[in-house]
């Protein structure tokens, strides 16, 4: 058999060992003038210079991977803005803007096509069928590939069915797939999936992801606890940690993230020691935070695997701690349905 050809993602990870992803798209764009209720994906066409400035800030801070501004660019989300007919256009444009910025800086920067949830509940809780979800994700993926994406980056997922639908849509496309979930509800996703369950689910995807992990959620401590559980359940997995910048606090009509660059540097060290190989920031993470994370990554000396006590001491308390009594009751009841009502909107 001939030697397997490595993707650009696999080559860069093999060469560098660990990679720095980028920071927050949404909160950075709000600082640039995006208003609540607007579709940020429309800016790929309407405000391209602002989207390039978003990416440029992260690349100049040291990111190896930048995610496209396409999180909600599927037909179900875009329908809310009467733009469901522009899926391929907006996804391809998003990749091209990120690619332009990465190439201008003269070093290897990977473009990851961001794919968020449809925003719909699957049958029988909602109206969306598995086949309809696959069709929507495939339409988005085709646009990302048309633009030239290096990676398909499925993120902020809650439902196993939705992850499986995205993997089905990615099958045979010849582009590496990454899937991350948001463990924001007592240590699980809103639909009841645990980090350990995420590790076990990997083998059930029709297109096996090259990396799995966690993004967004609640606080950085909660995310570190989640990725520790994933790496413990599957030590061979390439794991992504992309935490919110500290803890979100409501101040007036604003959500403010409390993480300092110093805190995000500590989080980077702990994520590396917990076994993560791709580390970035989610909501609230600015280019300034990313620069501190780049320094932490470049100066890291391997330490002991962090205990939960160490995470709480260094990073802060869990925002949404596990409900141990409910988990025990579910296990004694045979595991329950693993479904919860409610849906994260990204």
> What is the DSSP secondary-structure string of 287-342?
HHHHHHHHHHHHT----PPPPHHHHHHHH---SS---HHHHHHHHHTTS-----S-
Whether residue 156 contacts residue 178, with contact meaning beta carbons closer than 8 Å, is answered with no
Q: Is 72 helix (H, G, I), strand (E, B) or coil?
A: coil
Residue 258, φ and ψ in degrees, nearest 5: -90, -5
What value does the mean pLDDT take over residues 29-54? 96
Say what the pLDDT of residue 3 is: 57
Amino acid 283: pLDDT = 95
Per-domain boundaries in the chain: 8-332
- Classify 60 as helix, strand or coil: helix
- Is residue 324 pLDDT above 80, yes or no? no
Strands lying side by side in the sheet with 278-281? 19-20, 278-281, 239-243, 211-216, 177-181, 151-157, 110-115, 65-67
Q: Which CATH class is domain 8-332?
A: alpha beta
The answer to whether residue 345 scores a pLDDT higher than 70 is no
Q: pTM here?
A: 0.93
85-141 pLDDT per residue, tens: 999 999 999 999 999 999 998 889 999 999 999 999 999 999 999 999 999 999 999
With CA atoms as reference, report the closest residue to 268 among 258, 259, 280: 280
Strand partners, 179: 154, 212
3-state SS of 136-188 is HHHHHHHHHHHHCCCEEEEEEECCHHHHHHHHHHHCCCCCCEEEEECCCECCE
- Reply yes or no on whether the pLDDT at 41 is more than 80: yes
Model confidence at 1: pLDDT above 60: no
Residues in Cβ contact with 309 at an 8 Å cutoff, skipping those fewer than 6 apart: none
Instruction: Say how far apart CA 142 and CA 170 lie, in whole Å.
Output: 9
Question: Does 328 have pLDDT greater than 60?
Answer: no
264: its two tokens: 């995000």
Query: Which pLDDT does position 325 carry in this prediction?
Result: 56
The answer on pLDDT for 297 being more than 50 is yes
152-208 pLDDT per residue, tens: 999 999 999 999 999 999 999 999 999 999 999 999 999 999 999 999 999 999 999
Matching residue, tokens 């699957």 = 122
Confidence of residue 327 (pLDDT cuts 50, 70, 90): low
Task: Give per-residue pLDDT as tens, 58-96.
Answer: 999 999 999 999 999 999 999 999 999 999 999 999 999
Classified as helix, coil or strand, 128 is strand
Q: What is the pLDDT of residue 167?
A: 98
H or E stretch covering 251: strand 248-251
At residue 305, does pLDDT exceed 50? yes
With contact defined as beta carbons under 8 Å apart, do 26 and 40 qualify?
Answer: yes
* pLDDT above 70: residue 341: no
Do 71 and 346 touch, CB atoms closer than 8 A? Answer: yes
Q: How far is CA 39 from the centre of its chain?
A: 18
pLDDT surpassing 90 at residue 316: yes
Report pLDDT digits (tens) over 215-261. Answer: 999 999 999 999 999 999 999 999 999 999 988 888 888 888 999 99
């Amino acid at each position: 058999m001939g030697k397997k050809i490595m993707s650009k993602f696999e080559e860069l990870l093999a060469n560098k060992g660990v990679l720095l992803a980028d920071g927050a798209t949404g909160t950075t764009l709000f600082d640039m003038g995006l208003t609540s209720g607007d579709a940020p994906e429309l800016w790929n066409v309407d405000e391209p210079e602002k989207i390039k400035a978003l990416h440029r800030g992260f690349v100049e801070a040291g990111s190896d991977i930048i995610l496209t501004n396409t999180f909600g660019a599927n037909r179900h989300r875009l329908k809310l803005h009467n733009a469901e007919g522009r899926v391929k256009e907006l996804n391809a444009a998003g990749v091209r803007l990120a690619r332009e910025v990465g190439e201008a800086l003269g070093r290897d920067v990977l473009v990851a096509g961001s794919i968020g949830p449809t925003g719909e509940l699957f049958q029988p809780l909602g109206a969306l069928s598995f086949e309809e979800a696959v069709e929507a994700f495939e339409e988005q993926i085709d646009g990302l590939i048309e633009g030239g994406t290096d990676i398909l980056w499925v993120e902020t997922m809650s439902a196993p069915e939705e992850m499986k639908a995205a993997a089905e849509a990615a099958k045979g496309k010849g582009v590496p797939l990454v899937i991350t979930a948001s463990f924001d509800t007592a240590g699980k996703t809103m639909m009841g999936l645990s980090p350990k369950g995420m590790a076990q689910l990997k083998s059930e995807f029709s297109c096996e992801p090259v990396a799995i992990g966690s993004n967004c959620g609640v606080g950085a401590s909660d995310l570190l606890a989640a990725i520790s559980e994933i790496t413990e359940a599957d030590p061979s997995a390439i794991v992504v940690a992309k935490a919110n910048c500290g803890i979100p606090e409501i101040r007036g009509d604003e959500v403010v993230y409390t993480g300092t660059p110093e805190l995000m540097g500590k989080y980077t060290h702990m994520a590396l020691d917990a076994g993560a190989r791709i580390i970035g920031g989610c909501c609230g993470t600015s280019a300034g935070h990313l620069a501190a994370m780049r320094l932490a990554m470049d100066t890291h000396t391997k330490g002991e695997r962090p205990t939960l006590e160490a995470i709480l001491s260094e990073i802060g308390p869990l925002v949404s701690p596990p409900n141990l009594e409910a988990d025990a009751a579910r296990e004694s009841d045979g595991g329950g349905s693993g479904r919860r009502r409610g849906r994260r909107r990204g």
